[in-house]
Amino acid sequence: MTTLLLLLHTHTTTIRDALEARRENAKGDVGLSTLEMAVIALGTLGLAVALVTALTAAVNGRLEQIQ
C-alpha cells in the first residue's frame, strides 16, 4: 500500500510541475481577448442572420403550395 501511495504522490507531483511549466511558458496569454470574443460573436450573429434569411426565403417560396 505504501508503494502505491508513493507512486501516486510522485505522479501527482510530476503532473503538477509539468502544468506549472506550461503556465509559465504561456507568457500571460491564457484566454481570449475582447477583440477575439467580439469577432466570434459577430461571426455567430452573421451565421444566424443568414440561416433565418434562408429559411424565410424557403418558406415564402413554398407559401403558395401550403395554402
pLDDT at 39: 92
Same domain? 23 vs 39: no
Q: Which helix H or strand E contains 26, and what residues bound it?
A: none
pLDDT at 29: 62
**In whole angstroms, what is the distance from residue 23 CA to residue 30 CA?**
8
pLDDT at 48: 95
Q: What is the mean pLDDT of each run of 10 residues along the chain (67 residues)?
A: 83 87 71 85 94 93 82
pLDDT at 46: 93
Domain carrying residue 50: 31-67
Same domain? 50 vs 67: yes
Neighbour-count burial of 5, counting CB atoms closer than 10 A to its CB (0-12 exposed, 13-18 middle, 19+ buried): exposed
Domains: count for the chain: 2
Is pTM beyond 0.95 here?
no
**In whole angstroms, what is the distance from residue 7 CA to residue 54 CA?**
59
Same domain? 42 vs 52: yes
Same domain? 36 vs 65: yes
**In whole angstroms, what is the distance from residue 67 CA to residue 27 CA?**
63
